[in-house]
Amino acid sequence: MKKIEAIIRPHLLDAVKNALREIDVKGMTVSEVQGYGRQSGHTETYRGAEYQIDFIPKLKIEVIIPDEIEVAVVQAISKSAQTGKFGDGKIFILPINDVIRIRTGERGEAAL
Amino acid sequence: MNQRLKAWHIASASILMLGFLDTTVLAQTPTATEDRLRQLEQTAALAQTSGDNAWMLTCAALVLMMTGPGLALFYGGLVRRKNVLATMMQSFTLMAVVTVLWALYGYTFAFGSWNWFIGDLRYALMHGVGAIPNATYAPTIPQQTFMVYQLMFAIITPALITGAFAERMKFSAMLVFMILWSTFVYFPLAHMVWGDGGLLNATLAGRIPTLDFAGGTVVHISSGISALICALYIGKRIGFPQQAMKPHNLTLSFIGACLLWVGWFGFNAGSALAANSLATSAFVATHFASAAAALGWVAVEWIRLGKPTVLGAISGAVAGLVAITPGAGFVTPMAALIIGVAAGAICYFMTSSVKRHFGYDDSLDVFGIHGAGGTLGALLTGIFATRAVNPIFKDAPVGLLDGHAAQLFNQGVGVLVAIIIAAVGSLIILKLVDVTIGLRVTREDEITGLDISQHGEEGYELVG
């Protein structure tokens, strides 16, 4: 099993979610995060005082998947979250030791 | 005494009238006609009192609404999330503290008569402040109504100052500072401008007649200048100006500003102290100035920075309300538009360019908006005031354009006196509080935020 973490542009969440549903990803966790990478921040102005905002709002999605759909999931996210400009985000792939469904106690892929 | 007699006459006349109702023959005699006339006069007076009192009580409530929730929301939204409750608490606390001071000695110091600078103790502990009107100030409403209306001004003035030292002052220090400030700055200044025999009073035997319809000098210059002194004395917030200190919730500020706009009708139109056409005139001037100032601020901002901001629009509206305050009952609607647009543009430069140039941390721009807007308004009142709106000097011209250039000088003196009293008073009080209990929270408490460090609470619990 793998955990796929992806940092994406907030407005592309629906596109990513639909792309993952199509390839049968069963669930997803989303959090609002802030960060910086190569995309430069933006300026905000309050009563004439300009603030450089370095941390840009992004969404982090997390999905746990069986090994065999890893390529498909990465492809789906890459395609749906891509605009081609700085700030599209990143995908991280991590190994998962085990998964337990709290309701039933099932373990491993059966718990996904 | 005179008023009491009058009330007795009303009562007796009413009883007599009842007697006359079924003996109309008697009404033909001269005495009966006189009685009837007197009775009619008294009924008319009662009707006026009833109308004026209803309006003035409403205005008193409106002005209180400016502080809570108006100013509390406006300021609360402008600070960082960790200081929202502490900021609101400062305004709210002043609603309570100043009320008690006013009841004990504030009202009498402001509106008793003694000398140029302060009133005597005739109304101490609310002595003699009851249903009978105070003919010197407001002859058609109970003195208690006048007293409670003026109280609301005494509340909002120190509450305005809290924006200057936001996010870093100890609650205890704020409390002591404000008690002393109300006592030694506000009450005397209110007496000097509005009190019987005050130095700057325009109608009640003042030495230098200064026009201040609703508190341009007493409320806005005094709070704005004191705010600047506070900001300079207490110093910058940790991280200012390198670190971004964005308003944490502009929607709160937006609601607060709208409440301020509405409440200001009580503040300015109510300062006519009666439900008359002068109140209407002040109402219109207030509204026009606020609208023009919102546009003025946003226009300058849009041209300079490319975007019209919400904070700019609401700050502009407040700046316009501040600037029209001294002139609300003296200027025409068109003059109000001019005063408003000038206030919007000038206060924008004060809060952005001027503040950045000098580098002081007047955190919520009390000086930039109230100090600058109040000064501008006081001076423009000297230019635009006209007897066509308010013949305060009988038939003589009032302002510069009305043919009375000296008034502009008087306004300048009034501004100067207010600045000196506010600056010197604030500085001494700050020093006093600083060496006794200390003004500022510890570095750790400031970084943690005042909500937790001063009050042990948090404004938002978003999870759970």
Per-residue pLDDT reduced to its tens digit, B351-410? 999 999 999 999 999 999 999 999 999 999 999 999 999 999 988 999 999 999 999 999
CB contact under 8 A, B365 and A50: no
CA dist B138 → B103, B277, B463 (Å): 19, 15, 53
Assign residue A104 the CATH number of its domain. 3.30.70.120
The segments of chain B whose pLDDT lies below 50 read: 1, 19-20
In the block, tokens 């100013």 appear at B71
CB contact under 8 A, B311 and A47: yes
Nearest CA in chain A to B313: A47
Q: Is B197 left (phi over 0), alpha (psi -120 to 50) or beta?
A: left
Please measure the distance between the N-terminal and C-terminal CA atoms of chain B and give it in whole angstroms: 63
> Of B102, B48, B104, B163, whose CA–CA distance to A47 is shortest?
B163
Domain locations in chain B as residue ranges: 2-41, 54-455
Q: If you ran DSSP here, which 8-state letter would residue B440 be given?
A: B
| pLDDT for residue B116 | 95
Spell out which residues of chain A touch residue B368, defining contact as CB-CB under 8 Å.
47
Question: In this structure, are residues B190 and B418 in contact, taking their beta carbons and an 8 Å threshold?
Answer: no
Nearest CA in chain B to A50: B244
| pLDDT for residue B1 | 42
Domain count, chain A: 1
| pLDDT for residue B10 | 55
- Provide the whole-model pTM: 0.88
* SS3 (DSSP) at B195: coil
CA dist B389 → B334, B384, B392 (Å): 12, 10, 9
Measured distance CA(B403)–CA(B400) in Å, rounded:
5
| pLDDT for residue A40 | 79
Instruction: Label residue A26 by pLDDT band (50, 70, 90).
Output: confident
Q: If you ran DSSP here, which 8-state letter would residue B246 be given?
A: -
CB contact under 8 A, B244 and A50: no
Per-residue pLDDT reduced to its tens digit, B221-239? 999 999 999 999 999 999 9
**Dihedral angle, C-alpha B149, B155, B156, B161, nearest 10 °:** 160
CB contact under 8 A, A49 and B365: no
- Which residue numbers of B have CB closer than 8 Å to A's CBs? 241, 244, 246-247, 301, 304-305, 307, 309, 311-312, 315, 348-349, 351-353, 355-356, 365, 368
| pLDDT for residue B136 | 95
Tokens standing for residue B72:
């509390």
Q: Where are the beta strands (DSSP E) in chain A?
A: 2-8, 29-35, 42-46, 49-53, 56-65, 90-95
> Of B170, B72, B86, whose CA–CA distance to B456 is shortest?
B86
ipTM of predicted complex: 0.77
| pLDDT for residue B344 | 98
| pLDDT for residue B450 | 97
Q: Does domain B54-455 have CATH number 1.10.3430.10?
A: yes
* SS3 (DSSP) at B388: coil
Per-residue pLDDT reduced to its tens digit, A45-69? 899 888 888 889 999 999 999 999 9
CB contact under 8 A, B309 and A51: no
CB contact under 8 A, A45 and B348: no
Measured distance CA(B323)–CA(B371) in Å, rounded:
10
